[in-house]
Amino acid sequence: MKAVVYSRTGGPDVLQLVDREVPLVEAGEVRVRIAVSGVNPTDWKSRAGATANAGESTEVDPEQVPNQDGAGVVDDIGLGVTRFAIGDRVWVRDAAFQRPTGTAAEYTVLPDHLVNPLPDGVSFDIGASLGIPALTAHRALTAREAGPARLSPGSLVGTTVLVAGGAGAVGHAAIQLAVWAGATVITTVSSPEKAALAAAAGAQHVVNYRSEDVVERVQQLAPHGVEVVVEVNPLQNIADDIAVIARGGTIAIYVSGEPDEVPIPARASMTKNVRVQFVLTYTTSEVEKGNAVAAVTAAAAAGALDVGDESGLPLTRFTLADTADAHAAVEGGAVGKVLIDVASL
C-alpha cells in the first residue's frame, strides 16, 4: 500500500510517500481503507514537533503516518469486533493520537472504538471533516453546567452562542451544531468574505471585528448576555467575552495559537460566576467523547454538517503524493477544509 510517513519532526518536507505492507488486524481492531483524509492544524503541529522541543528536529520511532481524521470503508475486522462488517462506510477519529496509524495512507488499523458508522447519504468528504473540528465544537457547546451533555434538535433552544472565528473549521462546526440544536448563533469574522461563509454555515448574526465594535454589537443582539462562548483566540478576546457573557455562562476555549498565558479579568468573572473551560478533544472523558460522537453522527445524518462552498466550508483538495503541500496549506492558514484524496471507493 501507499502511505505518507515521517521519521523526524520538521517542516512539510519530512513527509515521504512510501510503499508498505497492508497492516494486519488483531483482536478488537478494524482495518479501514481510507477514501479521504482530513488535515487539521494539530496534524502539522505534531509533524513539526510543536508540542515538544519546539524548533528542534527529533527522531520519531516508529515512523509516523500523520492525520487524525478520515473516512472510508471497513476492509477487515479483528476477533471480537461486532459493530462492523466488511464494506461498512465509516469515519475515524484520533487515528494518529499516541499511535503511528494516521489516515494519510491507503489503509489504517485502529481500535474499533475509534471507528464510527458513516450514515447513508453522508459523503466521505463530510466524514473526513468531522473528527477534530466537530468533536471539539460539541465539547465547547456542552461545557456549560446548565446545558445539555449531548446535543440534539431543540437541546439549545433559548440559548445564545457566540462563536469566535466562524469561518474556521472548529467555528464552522460550532455554528452548524448550535443551529441544529436550536441555538441563536452570533459569530465574529475578519472580512466580508468570511462573513459570507459564516452566514452560509447558518449563523443568524455575523460581526466583522475589524469594522465593528464587538462588545457593543453583541450586547445589542443579546441584551441579557450570551450563555456560551466558543473561543479560539482568548489572548485577544477574553475581556470582550467576559463583557458579553451572561451570568453563569461558560467560555469554552480551544487554543489554535500559542498563548500559554491568558490574563483573565478576575473581578468581572467572579461577578458573573463565569466558567472558563479549556477544551482538547483528545483528552475529554469517555462519556464526553461518546456523547460527542453520537451527536455529531446524528447531526451529519440530518444534513446539518455539510461541507463545501454552499455550506460555508470551502474544500481544498490534494492527492496522497502531495500530502506535504496539504500540510503546508493548513499551516499557511488555508480557509475552509483541506482534504487528501486517497482512493476512489
Q: Among the CATH numbers 3.90.180.10, 3.40.228.10, 1.20.120.1630, 3.40.630.30, which is that of 133-282?
A: 3.90.180.10
53 pLDDT higher than 90: no
Write down the pTM of the prediction: 0.95
Q: Where are the domains of the chain?
A: 2-129+313-341, 133-282
SS3 of the chain: the string is CEEEEEEECCCHHHCEEEECCCCCCCCCEEEEEEEEEEECHHHHHHHHCCCCCCCCCCEEEEEEECCCEEEEEEEEECCCCCCCCCCCEEEECCCCCCCCECCCECEEEEEHHHEEECCCCCCHHHHCCCHHHHHHHHHHHCCCCCCCCCCCCCCCCCCEEEEECCCCHHHHHHHHHHHHCCCEEEEEECCHHHHHHHHHHCCCEEEECCCCCHHHHHHHHCCCCEEEEEECCHHHHHHHHHHHEEEEEEEEECCCCCCCCCCCCHHHHHHCCCEEEECCHHHCCHHHHHHHHHHHHHHHHCCCCCCEHHHCECEEEEEHHHHHHHHHHHHCCCCCEEEEECCCC
pLDDT at 55: 60
52 pLDDT higher than 80: no
pLDDT confidence bin for 345, thresholds 50/70/90: confident
State pLDDT tens for residues 245-304: 999 999 999 986 666 788 899 999 999 999 999 999 999 999 999 999 999 999 999 999
State pLDDT tens for residues 112-139: 999 999 999 999 999 999 999 999 999 9
pLDDT > 90 fraction of the chain, expressed in percent and rounded:
92
State pLDDT tens for residues 204-238: 999 999 999 999 999 999 999 999 999 999 989 99
What dotted CATH number matches 2-129+313-341? 3.90.180.10
50 compared with 320, residue with greater pLDDT? 320
State pLDDT tens for residues 133-156: 999 999 999 999 999 999 999 999
pLDDT at 258: 63
Q: Is 133-282 in the same CATH topology as 2-129+313-341?
A: yes
State pLDDT tens for residues 163-172: 999 999 999 9
